[in-house]
């Protein structure tokens, strides 16, 4: 199976950014760890990070018919980007939303996900391990969207 690992804005700053919330490991560490976990299960992984909404929309469109699943941390886009939610709704590729931190126990604006209805599951508060959990959910074959 071909899996797209996507990370949105500011996740290139992992390791530097609020280490008390997101830890000391970098995006490179995250991508390497996820790729190793996925490869051990026979998956091929493409990693993509961007701080730009339109580039993320384009990447989601390109996954249609080309990828079997998307593991996606939309960062702050989670809380307001209807463009990214509609992009996920425009493709047949199932997506699991991931948050490193537990967004439900943080500021009120983080409690809302406009992305979740277009995803098949949401994983939060599990650190980098949450990305592996998201892959497990995709490999179980879950395709029904939350919305
Ligand atoms: C995040 C949570 C978001 O609220 C925040 O804007 C991020 C990271 C997480 O992984 O916990 O950039 O998605």
Q: What are the residue ranges spanned by the domains of the chain?
A: 2-139
Distance, C-alpha 105 to centroid of its chain: 19
Q: What angle do CA 64, 36, 4 make, to 5 degrees?
A: 10
Using DSSP's 3-state secondary structure scheme, residue 18 falls into coil
The domain over range 2-139 is classified in CATH as 3.40.50.1820:
no
Q: Give the CA distances from residue 100 to residues 41, 42, 66, 127, in Å, rounded to whole numbers and listed in that order.
A: 22, 24, 26, 4
pLDDT digits (tens, 9 = 90+) for 24-40: 999 999 999 999 999 99
pLDDT digits (tens, 9 = 90+) for 97-106: 999 999 999 9
Q: Please give the pLDDT value at position 41.
A: 96
77 labelled binding-site residue? no
Q: 88: CA distance to ligand 1 center in Å?
A: 18
Q: 62: CA distance to ligand 1 center in Å?
A: 24
**Cα Rg, the chain, nearest whole Å:** 14
Atom of ligand 1 lying closest to residue 8 CA: 12
Query: Do the beta carbons of residue 122 and residue 146 sit within 8 Å?
Result: yes
Atom of ligand 1 lying closest to residue 109 CA: 4
55 labelled binding-site residue? no
51 labelled binding-site residue? no
Q: Is the pTM of this model over 0.95?
A: yes
Q: Which residues are catalytic?
A: 22, 99
Q: 69: CA distance to ligand 1 center in Å?
A: 21
* ipTM exceeding cut-off 0.85 for this assembly: yes
Say which residue the tokens 């699991």 belong to.
96
Alpha-carbon distance of 2 to 25, in angstroms, equals 25
């Amino acid at each position: 199976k071909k899996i797209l690992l996507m990370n949105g804005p500011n996740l290139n700053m992992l390791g530097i950014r609020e280490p008390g919330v997101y830890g000391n490991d970098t995006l490179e560490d995250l991508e390497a760890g996820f790729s190793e976990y996925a490869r051990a299960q026979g998956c091929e992984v493409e990693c993509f990070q961007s701080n730009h909404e339109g580039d993320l929309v384009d990447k989601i469109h390109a996954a249609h018919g080309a990828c079997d699943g998307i593991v996606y941390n939309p960062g702050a886009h989670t809380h307001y980007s209807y463009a990214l939610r509609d992009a996920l709704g425009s493709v047949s590729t199932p997506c699991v939303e991931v948050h490193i931190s537990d967004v439900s126990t943080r500021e009120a604006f983080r409690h809302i996900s406009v992305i979740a209805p277009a995803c098949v599951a949401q994983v939060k508060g599990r650190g980098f391990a949450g990305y592996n959990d998201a892959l497990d959910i995709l490999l179980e074959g879950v395709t029904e969207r939350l919305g």
